Structure 1
């Protein structure tokens, strides 16, 4: 039985960029879990409309 596990999860979220406005995009979270309880988000990134991978720091959450 593993005590510490790293899991990858993809969600669809609303994001906002100044150039494009509001958009729906797939955001992938890489999280560290201890006993199946999420402890820390290690990294998160998103896939663009054209299939490129970008860091989520370039856009904010939509209000």
Structure 2
């Protein structure tokens, strides 16, 4: 077992926004461990996946 090592973990988190609706975001944390215990977060970043939402006005047919 190493004394000091770095580990990267990824989780998918679901976030709700009023304008965009439900979003899935991938959260990645890079942490530094000492004897198996995390003691410092080196970097944390999110990547959001979303698609364009259609509004009701765009779906209406004007005849």
* Fold match (TM-score > 0.5): yes
SS of corresponding position for 1:48: strand
Question: After superposition, where does 1:19-58 map in structure 2 within 5 Å?
Answer: 20=20, 22-49=22-49
What TM-score do you get using the length of structure 2 for normalisation?
Answer: 0.59
Between Structure 1 and Structure 2, the one with more strand by share is: 1
Match of 2:14 in 1: 14
* Shift of residue 19, structure 1, vs aligned partner: 5.5
Larger Rg: 2
CA distance in 2, matches of 1:12, 1:38: 20
Task: Identify unmatched segments of 5+ residues in structure 1.
Answer: 51-63
Task: Identify unmatched segments of 5+ residues in structure 2.
Answer: 51-63
What TM-score do you get using the length of structure 1 for normalisation?
Answer: 0.59
* Superposition CA RMSD, Å: 2.2
Query: How many equivalent residue pairs?
Result: 50
